[in-house]
Structure 1
């Protein structure tokens, strides 16, 4: 059901984006339409979490994350630190370089249409994943791509984009060693040398790579992609072929749907949570079903049911 009331809203915007003319014009336009919208600008890590709590103390009923996936993650973390009954609804103004979560759920990328959805769209309750003290709403990726870079996994893009020769050369240059991982979930377990592990609540990461193309935000399940290590160009081609057929299982690629997943390894495993880097020897991921009320369009494909 579309919004009939106009809640008081607060835009929490990454400082790098605060002076973009289109953003300022969009804020002015929505205010002119009668929306009660104020703005807070972040300066450093942790600001968005604090600003979420300040918004709640001020009686704000809608917070809007203005920035990339990292800003979205920080606002979600701030919301999840609150009691469920205290959490404002959340909108998103995508301003990052990748905007994987916003793209994955079909949000507009232009400032004024995105703010309009954030203020006037449909409210849907969505799941949020927890990993220890951390939360993520989109995806955690780990393995070689997360090792190379914590911002844009270039190696992963090359793998999925078909740059097999380039990636094989990169693996040799980096003296790459696979990560031994032991995964457990309610219906099974798997011990394998890992090239890539993707744990999806949302659908895509790495600047547009669909790693969990059938994931739903409200089904209480994680969509887990496991890519086993490979050692030759022939095997890499097989990996590429299997990834193109997601979500089918294959010799190197396996898909798991589960409400929780635990992981252990002998060495620190590089992990990227919605753009936030970690290195962990063991962790467990669980879901808090329908934990946050997210503003989206009415016809989004990432929901399993009306909410």
Structure 2
């Protein structure tokens, strides 16, 4: 008998997983799995549960937002024998689920979790904290962890946009030094992200057109401080692909990057608060975990 651990966040996605729980488990059982079910009780609970019991299972399937997936991946990274990971997206944005071409419908995603293709993916390391698809600071990043769960459930992706617009008047630039390979860049930045994803904030294409989830490389993007309102508009247009690249935007690929700032900055890891620091080395661990993906749709 194959053993499967199903971890779900009961508060994610308007709590819809509870309405589909019986049907989801039935899908797992019909594929020959003996299923253990665990609803998370709070922040970091999924990680702790995986660290304690994860090696007893062939497959761990989690249901929730990107933060729930992050916790499961973080737990699996501590294990000697790493089980495969399935993901049923139930958050507000589900960026990494889009990269894996996972269905938005819970039952369809549950079927992919137990019948899809094993896909090895890179895992980032930020000050010893794993992240699966993004580490970021600056404009809009606080929105992901300061927006209440009620607002996320009520408005979905638009909740992030509304809260982000409210934060623009207080935007602050940070003087920073970036080092990667043999390159050093020093400037004032309002935003930066180190990513391994096709989608950020629900928008595709922000990280470039040639993104591979298993190449050991991050897609990095940093935005210099705009000098006026017109430059803000030009930056947004460039990010959305309306205009050619803007000279206020720096983008590059790297497997390791050193970031240093004058003051301690809050960072976001996979949509959750990642702590504050003024100096960090961010590393890429190539093909560190195996996630079940919708292989045919990923490359169609």
- Both proteins in one fold, TM over 0.5: yes
Give TM-score, length-normalised by structure 1. Answer: 0.83
Q: Render the CA deviation track for 1:28-65: whole Å, top value 9, x for unaligned.
A: 243245432221111022221222134334x2111112
In structure 2, the partner of 1:197 is 192
Listed as ranges, the matches of 1:253-272 within 5 Å are 253-272=249-268
CA contact (8 A) 1:148 1:154 kept: no
1:134: Cα distance to partner?
0.6
Q: Render the CA deviation track for 1:82-125: whole Å, top value 9, x for unaligned.
A: 23xx1101110111121111123211121111111111110011
Report the secondary structure of 1:146's partner residue: coil
In structure 1, the partner of 2:177 is 182
Structure 1 unaligned spans of 5+: 1-5, 160-165
In structure 2, the partner of 1:79 is 76
1:227: Cα distance to partner?
1.1
For residues 245 and 280 of structure 1, the distance between their equivalents in structure 2, rounded to whole angstroms, comes to 32
Give TM-score, length-normalised by structure 2. Answer: 0.85
Structure 2 unaligned spans of 5+: 148-156
In structure 2, the partner of 1:12 is 7
For residues 243 and 289 of structure 1, the distance between their equivalents in structure 2, rounded to whole angstroms, comes to 27
Q: Which portions of structure 1, spanning 4 or more consecutive aligned residues, are displaced by more than 6 angstroms?
A: 153-156
Residue number among 287, 293, 297 corresponding to 2:294 in the alignment: 297
Task: Give the paired residue count.
Answer: 286
For residues 117 and 243 of structure 2, the distance between their equivalents in structure 1, rounded to whole angstroms, comes to 29
1:210: Cα distance to partner?
4.2
Residue number among 92, 97, 109 corresponding to 1:97 in the alignment: 92
Comparing 67-76 with 293-302, greater Cα deviation is found at 293-302
Q: CA RMSD in A?
A: 2.8
For residues 155 and 254 of structure 1, the distance between their equivalents in structure 2, rounded to whole angstroms, comes to 28
Instruction: Quickly say closer, same or farther: Cα 1:110–1:222, change in 2 above 3 A.
Output: same
In structure 1, the partner of 2:121 is 126
In structure 2, the partner of 1:241 is 237
CA contact (8 A) 2:144 2:160 kept: no
